[in-house]
Structure 1
Amino acid sequence: MIPFARLLVRRIALLIALLATVFVVVDLLPGNTARAVLGRDATPDRIAAKEHELGLDHPLPQRFWNWISGVLTGDFGHTARGRSINDLLADKFPPTLLLGGLALTLTVLASLLLGIWWAARQNTAMRLLQPATTMAAAIPEFVVATLLILVFALAAGWLPAVTITGRSGFPASPDMLVLPVLALAIPQIGWNTRVVRAAMVHAAQAPHVESAVLDGISTRAVLLRHVLPFALPTIVASFATTVGMVLGGSLVVETIFNYPGLGAVLAGSVADRDVSLIASVVALSGAVIMGMLAVADGIRAWSLRGRG
């Protein structure tokens, strides 16, 4: 089996193991799905009937198998409240994907620019970027979101602090995306800028880079043509990891900004102990992350071509 296929099988196996863990953890949570859906005043007979309807009277392994066998055919099943999970994900995942995609794009562009500048101007950039990137990488997304709201929404009044959903299901105006995107991107920019700089500095120590400098090639050309291609595998691996961080952080940021994505869906599913919906969100997010990792693997393989 070729290495890429073996790696893909391993990632799929890890995702399935994660989904099984989700079923176990949710089953161990206090509370009852049927009671959460029917309310506190539900009689024992109604609760028992609802549990039978949802299949909660079956053993946990059987419930997991019934759910994942449906997923393999493209059917995520229904929520505990009877709504199609496929329809729910189709409505709520695109806004989350938009938010995460914008944050990832901003992270990639800003990290590359800042990291390359830091590598090229070690002394000048060190005084500014060393403390700034350390602080940005250390602060969680929800703290960054709170600070952004305090400064740009409440104090300055420049940007809205709450997202209003339009008829399309997306934010009603583009300015409502600014603060959520920044809240997601700032910590990742801090981390990835440091990775880009470290990878560039390490690649600059290669013999062919010294030869290019001695040949009188400009600093910009040396960085872009001789250093960046050799630093690319490390940089791409960091960006691929960032995809998972952005998707995970977006669920928290969406809740803070009342953003119309998967964040509210996941919060409601946890309150209802709706394991099928929780696992479906994890499965969809995991599939996106696996896809991005596959792209990253392809880029790394291309950048390493021809190297002994």
Structure 2
Amino acid sequence: MPGGLRPVVRLTALLARRAVLLAVLLATVFAAVELLPGDAATATAERGESAADLAQRRELLGLDRPLPSRFIDWMTGLPTGDLGTSAHGRPVAELLSGPFPNTLLLGGLALLLTLVASLALGCWAALKPGGRTDRTVSSTATGVLALPEFVVAVALVLVFALWTDLLPAVTLTDADGSPASWQMLVLPVLALAVPQIGWNIRIVHAALADEAKAPHVETAVLDGLPRHRVLTHHLLPGALPTIAAGIATSTGMLLGGAVVVETIFNYPGIGSVLAGAVTDRDSPVVAGVVAVTGTVIAGVLLLADLVRAWASGDRT
């Protein structure tokens, strides 16, 4: 195979694997919602509706058809951006068009904070291996990564909203549905980022420690190069693939944790949409949320794979 085509083939194969995994995940979501007690017709029925009314509603929603048939029909519209219709008759794409950008903003800011903080603290600890700074950062990171997002969120509300009144505990929205001020983003972003910062500090620290054992790094140290130069020119380049994989993994954790954090802070994201869809047994909405978040996560994982290939020198 010509060398120029090899990267294209690898990228195509990687995209195909991601697409298959997403399709399997979506099928699992459809099946899981189907296994819940009741169905969308019953969950969205008004009080006093007769059995005939429910039967008519089931037929209108397509619930009288086999699950595989409904799933295949839903999947055929996915490439065109058609996410189906909710149990309330509203297009799912329209239903998600407002909340999902808010969730992306929240998750993106949390991911950026995670990247900056974990790199800074992990590198700071690695510059003084075995010292007090190293022990303090490592032990703190271990304790923080064990905290669920809702515990961090409640602690932040107590300290910064109830006790000190520095930041708002709930999110108010503008006319377009976005947060009314940047202050309302601070606590949700911190609640999401803190556990992932702890996780990624450990990854950065371990990657740098492993890279420090490499012969070229030991040679640089013996040559008397300053610590910061050894870090930036010898340690970080070799540790970059592992760090990129850790950050990419955090993307899924951040978007998953956003559902809980958005509920606590009344944030206008997809958390409330997903909760309502599960209550209504609304398979197209639940699958639509999974599809858009899964696509974002797959994109970040693909970017991480490209970074790892570049850092490893695999350009053929």
TM-score range, shorter chain: over 0.9
* Alignment match of 2:213 (pick from 205, 211, 214): 205
SS across alignment from 1:72: helix
Equivalent position of 1:252 in the other structure: 260
Equivalent position of 2:142 in the other structure: 134
Residue 44 of structure 1: how far off its partner (Å): 0.8
Cα distance in structure 2, aligned partners of 1:47 and 1:62: 21
Cα distance in structure 2, aligned partners of 1:295 and 1:306: 14
Q: Does 1:149 align with 2:154?
A: no
Alignment of 1:99-138 (within 5 A): 99-122=106-129, 123-138=131-146
Decide whether the 8 Å contact of 1:76 with 1:276 is kept in 2: yes
Equivalent position of 2:303 in the other structure: 295
Equivalent position of 2:178 in the other structure: 170
Q: Which residue identity does 2:134 align to in structure 1?
A: M
Q: Are residues 93 and 306 of structure 1, via their aligned partners in 2, closer, same or farther at CA, if it must alter by over 3 Å? A: closer
Q: Which residue identity does 1:3 align to in structure 2?
A: R
Q: Are residues 306 and 60 of structure 1, via their aligned partners in 2, closer, same or farther at CA, if it must alter by over 3 Å? A: closer
Decide whether the 8 Å contact of 1:152 with 1:159 is kept in 2: yes
What RMSD in Å do the two structures reach over aligned CA positions?
Answer: 1.4
Alignment of 1:1-308 (within 5 A): 2-122=9-129, 123-305=131-313
Residue deviations 1:14-44 (CA, integer Å, cap 9, x gap) = 1101110111110010022112112342211
SS across alignment from 2:239: helix
Residue 306 of structure 1: how far off its partner (Å): 6.5
Decide whether the 8 Å contact of 2:45 with 2:54 is kept in 1: yes
**Unpaired segments ≥5 residues, structure 2:** 1-5
Decide whether the 8 Å contact of 1:33 with 1:272 is kept in 2: yes
Cα distance in structure 2, aligned partners of 1:125 and 1:224: 19
Residue 217 of structure 1: how far off its partner (Å): 1.2
Decide whether the 8 Å contact of 2:30 with 2:283 is kept in 1: yes
Report the identity percentage. 55
Decide whether the 8 Å contact of 1:164 with 1:171 is kept in 2: yes
Cα distance in structure 1, aligned partners of 2:223 and 2:258: 47
With the length of structure 2 as denominator, give the TM-score of the two structures: 0.95
Q: Which residue identity does 2:287 align to in structure 1?
A: A
Residue deviations 1:172-227 (CA, integer Å, cap 9, x gap) = 01100000000000000000001000000111111111111122211000001111
Cα distance in structure 1, aligned partners of 2:211 and 2:240: 9
Select between 183-192 and 200-209 the one with higher mean Cα deviation.
200-209
Residue 167 of structure 1: how far off its partner (Å): 1.4
Cα distance in structure 2, aligned partners of 1:72 and 1:64: 14
Residue 266 of structure 1: how far off its partner (Å): 0.2
Decide whether the 8 Å contact of 1:23 with 1:64 is kept in 2: yes
Residue deviations 1:209-246 (CA, integer Å, cap 9, x gap) = 11111222110000011110000000000000000000
SS across alignment from 1:293: helix
Cα distance in structure 2, aligned partners of 1:40 and 1:198: 59
SS across alignment from 1:15: helix
With the length of structure 1 as denominator, give the TM-score of the two structures: 0.97
Q: Which residue identity does 1:293 align to in structure 2?
A: L
Decide whether the 8 Å contact of 2:138 with 2:201 is kept in 1: no
Residue 141 of structure 1: how far off its partner (Å): 0.4
Decide whether the 8 Å contact of 2:107 with 2:189 is kept in 1: yes
Q: Which residue identity does 1:209 align to in structure 2?
A: V
